[in-house]
Amino acid sequence: MRPSLALLAMSLALTPSLALASPFARVHALQAPSDPALQPTSSKAPPSTDLPEQPLPEEPPKVEPPAPEPEPEPVAAPPEKPKWNRHGIGIRGGLTVIPTWAVRGYVQSMTNALCRGNSLPSGNFAKGLSRVDGCNFYVGGEYVYRYTENFDIVPAVAYHQIKAPDGLWLDDSEKTNGQPNIGAADYTQVNFSHVAIQVDFIGRGNLIKTPDFKWQLGGGGGIGLGVITGFGFLQTPLGTPAGSPGGGTCNSLDDYKDFTKCTPHYQDEEANGGPPPVQGSLELDDAGNIGRFAKCTTDRCNGNDLDALGRKKGVNLPVIPIVNLLVSMRFLIKDTFGINIVGGWQTGFYFGGSLQYFFGPK
């Protein structure tokens, strides 16, 4: 037991020396403060939970990348609209038939122009006709404004020859016991030739349509005025009894076709509207001319003689209204050249056409 106590006592005695010999003890001795004000106090450090929390740095907001824009769907190109020329010019022409059929029920004899030379047509259509001679026609120019591809507005200026050959017209009422009173006829002249200024409105549909060709069919109408260039409507009494300067007889309507058989002459003041012409005022007076006849050929009489016998103007109009009704068929080539065929009614039935040139694309 004694050795153990001796070791214990030795350990206790050596502990302070070992502590001083420790390098950690020297370090602590060097770091010990020499200023008594800096001596540790008995206050306890505040717990860590009482310290103000330092705010954490805010993270920058996340920037979302922009969503990719959807690619536009491809848009089909609109179909190319067909081009067509809006303006056009043309020349027009054709034939016209005077509608004397409208007065056939009021006369026993009349004349007409039916483009048949001097021959008379056969059948009921010829009833009442005493002469057929030549044709009536029209010719002029036009401007075409295509309001749409199939609707035209057409101002036009044209000359229309509207006349009938000279003839003896006898009213239907001039009859005795059913027989015509031959001498009651009038030597009649008709000339309503005029210059027409008008505007037509024409619509058409396409029967055939290709890029280079159109076949169109349609119709329309127009209005305007006709400036009279002819003498109008003139009449001179034939005279009773009917006859001729050579002593020939005028006994039937067939004789009306030859004015050397049925020749106008002076009858009386009531028939001729005045006293007899002064001696020597008629062409035939030098040859005697007892019956005071006008000088005539087969189809025409002297105008001065007719005036001396009392020729009267039945219609005296400076202008006439124009109403045009028409049907049209047009062939259009490359929307540039047009061949237009028309027919209808305008101061008589007419048939003709026009050649057109178009320009100025819409």
Give pLDDT, residue 30.
45
What is the per-residue pLDDT across 206-250, written as a single tens digit (0 to 9) for each? 999 999 999 999 999 999 999 999 999 999 999 999 999 988 889
Query: pLDDT > 70: what percent of the chain?
Result: 80
Find the distance separating the first CA and the last CA of the chain, reported in whole Å.
Answer: 138
CA atoms of 361 and 88, how far apart (whole Å):
11
> At residue 13, does pLDDT exceed 80?
no
- The CA-based angle 158-161-166, given to 5 degrees, is 170
> What is the CA 354 to chain-centroid distance, rounded?
15
Average pLDDT value for residue range 43-56: 60
Range in 76-80, 155-159, 222-226, 267-271 the model is least confident about? 76-80
Retrieve residue 17's tokens. Answer: 């020396």
Give pLDDT, residue 288.
84
Give pLDDT, residue 18.
44
Q: Hunting for tokens 């008629």 — which residue is that?
A: 282
Give the contacts of 112 (CB within 8 A, at least 6 positions apart).
97, 98, 100, 129, 131, 132, 164, 165
Q: What is the pLDDT confidence band of residue 41, given thresholds at 50, 70 and 90?
A: low
Range in 96-105, 202-211, 245-254 the model is least confident about? 96-105
Give pLDDT, residue 4.
54
- The CA-based angle 51-56-57, given to 5 degrees, is 145
Average pLDDT value for residue range 19-41: 50
Burial of 306 (0-12, 13-18, 19+ CB in 10 A): buried
- The CA-based angle 254-294-169, given to 5 degrees, is 35
> At residue 15, does pLDDT exceed 60?
no
Range in 194-198, 246-250, 261-265 the model is least confident about? 246-250
Q: Is the peptide bond before 241 cis (omega within 30 degrees of 0)?
A: yes
The DSSP bridge partners found for residue 359 are 87
> What is the CA 45 to chain-centroid distance, rounded?
109
Domains of the chain, residue spans: 85-361
Give pLDDT, residue 274.
92
Average pLDDT, the chain: 85
Helix, strand or coil, per DSSP, at residue 100:
helix
Give pLDDT, residue 350.
94
Helix, strand or coil, per DSSP, at residue 18:
helix
Contact predicate 251/244, CB 8 Å = no
CA atoms of 340 and 329, how far apart (whole Å):
6
Give pLDDT, residue 171.
94
> At residue 120, does pLDDT exceed 90?
no
Give the contacts of 166 (CB within 8 A, at least 6 positions apart).
111, 131, 187, 188, 189, 259, 299, 300, 301
CA atoms of 180 and 108, how far apart (whole Å):
8
Give the pairing type, strands 319-333 and 312-315.
unpaired
CA-wise closest residue to 324 among 113, 138, 150:
138
For residues 34 and 107, which has the higher predicted lDDT (pLDDT)?
Answer: 107
**pTM of this prediction?**
0.73
Give pLDDT, residue 337.
97
For residues 4 and 61, which has the higher predicted lDDT (pLDDT)?
Answer: 61
Contact predicate 236/309, CB 8 Å = yes
User: How many residues appear in the chain?
Assistant: 362
Identity of the residue numbered 336: T
Average pLDDT value for residue range 276-286: 92
CA atoms of 26 and 285, how far apart (whole Å):
184
In 175-200, which positions are buried (b, 16+ CB within 10 angstroms) versus exposed (e)? eeeeebebbbbbbbbbbbbbebbbbb
Q: What is the pLDDT confidence band of residue 28, given thresholds at 50, 70 and 90?
A: very low
> At residue 278, does pLDDT exceed 80?
yes
Q: What is the pLDDT confidence band of residue 27, given thresholds at 50, 70 and 90?
A: very low
Q: What sign for the dihedral angle of Cα 112, 139, 362, 79?
A: positive
> At residue 134, does pLDDT exceed 80?
yes
Q: Which of 80-84, 183-187, 313-317 has the highest mean pLDDT?
A: 183-187
CA atoms of 357 and 87, how far apart (whole Å):
8
Fold held by 85-361: Porin (2.40.160)
Rg (CA), the chain: 61
Average pLDDT value for residue range 151-161: 97
